[in-house]
Structures are given as structure tokens and as C-alpha cells.
Amino acid sequence: MSISICPSWSENMKNQTPCEVFQTVNKRCSCIYPIISPDSSEQAFIPSGLNVTACTCSWASYNLFSACMFCTSSSPSLVSWDEWITNCPTNITSTTT
């Protein structure tokens, strides 16, 4: 669950916000993250431990989460791609999926 104030253009065809899509994708990938809220730190969501998967270490996951944080916070402190994949083995890191 998240608090999200996203512009309508950021929603998909099912009227889902980037946060909702991010959470749906990560549930399918069996990843557990804390609730995304305006005071969330993106650092808490960097893949680590059991959440290091091909799914979470993907460019798609990074971009969905960044869009979610942008919608959730009035001044997000977005982590870089290099920070996002810091715990991801290179064999599962992808910028094409």
C-alpha cells in the first residue's frame, strides 16, 4: 500500500499508478518491501537480502520505483541506477527487462 499523488498521465491503461504497478510486480516476484509513504527513503528499497532477484534488479523495477517515489514525495531523493544494483550480481542485472 502506498500514498501516491501521481499525475493522470503516469497511470497505465488500468488506471494504476506507478506505485501500484511496482507493488504488483514485486508481489509476483515474491519480494517484500515496507509501505511506501511520503517520508520513505529510497535507500530502504534498494534490493538486498532475499529481495535480490532478477525482477528487483531490473531496469523496469528501478524505473517503476523511481516514478513511484517521485509521485509519493514532493522532493524525492532518487538513488542512481548504480546504487540500486549495488547488491545485485551482474548475471541478474538487466537494463532491457
Asked which of 20-34, 47-61, 76-90 is least confident by mean pLDDT, the reply is: 20-34
Predicted pLDDT of residue 96: 65
Interatomic CA distance for residues 75 and 86, integer angstroms: 23
Interatomic CA distance for residues 61 and 97, integer angstroms: 9
Task: Tell me: pLDDT of 62 over 60.
Answer: yes
Question: For the chain, what percent of residues have pLDDT higher than 70?
Answer: 79
Which residues, in sequence order, are CB contacts of 19 under 8 Å at separation 6+? 2, 4, 6, 36, 68, 71, 72
37 or 64: which carries more pLDDT confidence?
Answer: 64
The pTM assigned to this predicted structure is 0.78
Tell me the per-residue pLDDT of 19-37, one tens digit each, with 9 for 90 and over: 888 888 877 777 766 666 6
